[in-house]
Amino acid sequence: MNGLQKYYRQSATYKIFSGIYEESIDFFDTLGKITLNGLEVIKQIFSGAINLKELIYQCDRFGVSSLPITLSIVGMTSVIVSSQVAGEMVKQGGGNFVGLLMSILIVRELGSIMSGFAIISMIGSSMASEIATMRVTEQIDAIKVLKVEPIRYLFVPRVLSGMIMMPFVVILASAFGVLAGAVTSDLTANLGYRAFFDSAWLGIYMKDLSVSLLKSLCFGGIIALISCSCGYYASGGAKGVGEATTKAVVWSFVAIVIIDMIFAMIFFF
């Protein structure tokens, strides 16, 4: 019997199912920790436990420092899309709808989702590695010894900064994306700026702007929460810091895509 068990444990079937089981346990464990941390952050915020100095620093880091790379990614994405769409639509007699299409695409989706990806890559990974380093070097344990609540000290300023600054980043990125689309459409399809913007105004409604801002607020908060949570539970030295950073990036990417899908189903289906 022991020989049969040993043979079974070496089989591909056992390795596949054990791998799925371990990943499932890790998934629900991580999800539970993130949820509990989120509830604790909400509790701390409503109790007024906010360090304004740290909040301002994190807002500068989240919004101002990330703005160049965010504008670059959204702008280049808009250039790529408009360079392929504008010419074809003009050929088919749909030149008057290029601005409408691009504005809807950028304001509803590209501006917020690509800004989220940029923030995750630059700020989310930085937050996760920073807190993970504090964990493995026992700085968080030292904070607890000093009778300071780690959630209040580490999580609250970062989560709040994400919720405050992300809408502003998305507004600027979306405006820059629409402008980049207009320039590209003019250069590639000889579509005038007036025709582009006249069409663009037809496709933008207050509902689109409101949903985009609400969605970006959720993006900012969840990116910061996931990044802090993954870093907070890191272990295993330098390797653990790398694993925590990778997990934070992957979870944040998946989370904002799921949130984006939920918003689309609620408001646009």
pTM: 0.88
Q: Is the residue at 130 inside a domain?
A: yes
What is the structure's pLDDT at 174? Answer: 92
What is the structure's pLDDT at 14? Answer: 63
What is the structure's pLDDT at 3? Answer: 60
Q: Is the residue at 23 inside a domain?
A: no
- CA gap 42, 35 in Å, rounded: 11
Cβ atoms 187, 82 nearer than 8 A: no
What is the structure's pLDDT at 193? Answer: 84
* Structural domain that includes position 168: 38-267
| Closest by Cα among 73, 78, 80, 119 to 221 | 119
Q: Is the residue at 109 inside a domain?
A: yes
Cβ atoms 30, 231 nearer than 8 A: no
Q: Is the residue at 21 inside a domain?
A: no
Q: Give the CA radius of gyration of the chain.
A: 23
SS (H, E, C) the chain: CHHHHHHHHCCHHHHHHHHHHHHHHHHHHHHHHHHHHHHHHHHHHHCCCCCHHHHHHHHHHHHHCCHHHHHHHHHHHHHHHHHHHHHHHHHCCCHHHHHHHHHHHHHHHHHHHHHHHHHHHHHHHHHHHHHHHHHHCCHHHHHHHCCCCHHHHHHHHHHHHHHHHHHHHHHHHHHHHHHHHHHHHHHHHCCCHHHHHHHHHHHCCHHHHHHHHHHHHHHHHHHHHHHHHHHHCCCCHHHHHHHHHHHHHHHHHHHHHHHHHHHHHHHCC
- Count of domains for the chain: 1
What is the structure's pLDDT at 86? Answer: 85
Q: Is the residue at 183 inside a domain?
A: yes
Q: Is the residue at 29 inside a domain?
A: no
Give me the tens of pLDDT residue by residue for the chain, a chain 269 residues long.
566 666 656 666 767 777 787 878 888 888 899 999 999 999 988 887 788 888 999 998 888 888 889 999 999 999 999 888 888 888 887 778 888 888 888 998 889 999 999 999 989 999 999 999 999 998 988 888 888 888 888 899 999 999 999 999 999 999 999 999 999 988 888 888 888 888 888 778 888 889 999 999 999 999 999 999 999 998 888 888 999 999 999 999 999 999 999 999 998 87
Residue 236 neighbours by CB distance under 10 Å = 12
Q: Is the residue at 4 inside a domain?
A: no
DSSP 11: S
Residue type, 143: I
Q: Say which residue the tokens 């820059």 belong to.
A: 176
Q: How far is CA 200 from the centre of its chain?
A: 26
